[in-house]
Amino acid sequence: MKKTVVISALLAVLLSILPARAQRLYFTTEQLPDLIQCLPAPPDSLSAGFGHDVLRYFWGKEQRQDSLRAEITKRDAVWTFEALIGEFSVPFGLPLSEEATPAIWRMLVNSLSTTDQMRAAPKAYFHRRRPFEVFHEKMLTGEEASLSGEGSYPSGHTMRGWTTALLLAEVNPAAAEAIFARAAMYGESRVIAGAHWQSDIVAGQTSAVIGYTRLQTSPFFRADMAAAQEEFRRLTVATGQDGRENFVSLTEAVPDAILEIRYFGTYNFVGERIDGYLAPTALLTREAADSLKAVSDDVMRLGYRLKIYDAYRPQMGVDHFVRWAADRKDVKMKPYFYPDLKKSVLFKQEYIMEKSGHTRGSTVDLTLFDMATEKEVDMGGTFDWFGPESHPDFCGNPDTGVFDARTAAKQRRGLTEQQFRNRLILRQAMLRHGFKPLDSEWWHFTLKDEPFPDTYFAFPVF
């Protein structure tokens, strides 16, 4: 046992100094599991399973109407290691590239190159026709020429995506939820594209687990994985990108603030607790929290307290929003947050985005609480309302402080001058202490000099 540990350690040291392009296969094709023997046959065309495949195909066609989801699907179709690994950088919490993370990159490329060998045999053996071939329709991604006549079962893209998730979650277990949520979307992209049936996706995920399990038996893989984990530890300790030690709880940093963390509960535009919110707490980077404490002290002198709706938001929470927005049928909260909008435009109008400034840790959503009345200050609209009424320049100019009574009178939900002035009290206090506003949300502010402008954190709110 000790000899094995020593050998693995020596291999890790050796591999860490090899050039990143020194690619190796951990096993030959013959040494890998035979997926023909491992996988069940794809569903028969008369089976209930195939009926589900057909329903999912038409579901995928509906998703193409969402511009952001369609864009993600097109990106996910690119068959290169650079494109694949790049997509997982955000949920992983660290930019991944051959130059920036050579040990992690080498482990991923070696592993994927090895397990890729497994998919050719079942594709040829089952030789299943793809959805776009069966329905004689064009694909979203324009891959018809390259995929026509190639077996559909299992999905190679899904196998790659799920294998990448398994490997990256072993390197950074704290980000596992966000990583696997992205991997699930990666597989769904192949249904949306028209490249695969849902059962192909499931088989691709199963194949990934089989291949990943086999990788664990290779001492060379274990050495590469050890080097990848050590590189991650070194980089995150050096940069703070594991995140938690650079964040503080607002309960401690801004003790006068009131917390009403909407995404921990069900009263929000999704209507359920959002992924990654494990406690009703608010976290911010130390720098943002210090500035927010100054804001709190400022408004306290005016008779107000800050009320916090959201602060740091983990990437898995953002991914939850994206999945929700793609589900056209889930509109239970529409009357409360977006009564005037179709759900299909939420991506296009950037109410829902694939990345959020909240995930960088220095953005906060908040309002004012009047200590005299013991009520929230009337801002003329609720937090997370999707519509022009939430814009800071609705019914006036927030920079000059001029209220436009004529325009307000013409609006169905026009602000009163007092509501406009209330918004200005919050805005001006935030701007005085180093925050910048957002053009579309009166409650949203980001620290101008945020310490992690290019990092999207993945650890949960705890």
Question: Can you read off the two tokens belonging to residue 179?
Answer: 């990583």
C-alpha distances in Å from residue 449, one per residue of 81, 126, 242, 299: 34, 56, 20, 22
* From 177, 188, 231, 441, active-site residue: 441
**DSSP, residue by residue, 77-142:** T--SHHHHHHHTHHHHTS---TTT-HHHHHHHHHHHHHHGGGSHHHHHHH-PPPHHHHHT---SS-
Please name which of 220, 235, 215 lies closest in space to residue 172, comparing C-alpha atoms.
235
Contact present, 309 and 383 (Cβ < 8 Å): yes
Distance CA 432, CA 434 (A): 6
Active site residue 376: no
- Angle between the N-to-C axes of helices 48-63 and 67-76, in degrees from 0 to 180, rounded to the nearest 10: 110
Q: Which amino acid is at 35?
A: L
* 64 backbone dihedrals φ, ψ, rounded to 5°: -65, -20
Q: Which amino acid type is present at position 15?
A: L
Q: Cα angle at 381 between 375 and 386, to 5 degrees?
A: 140
Which residues are known catalytic residues? 441
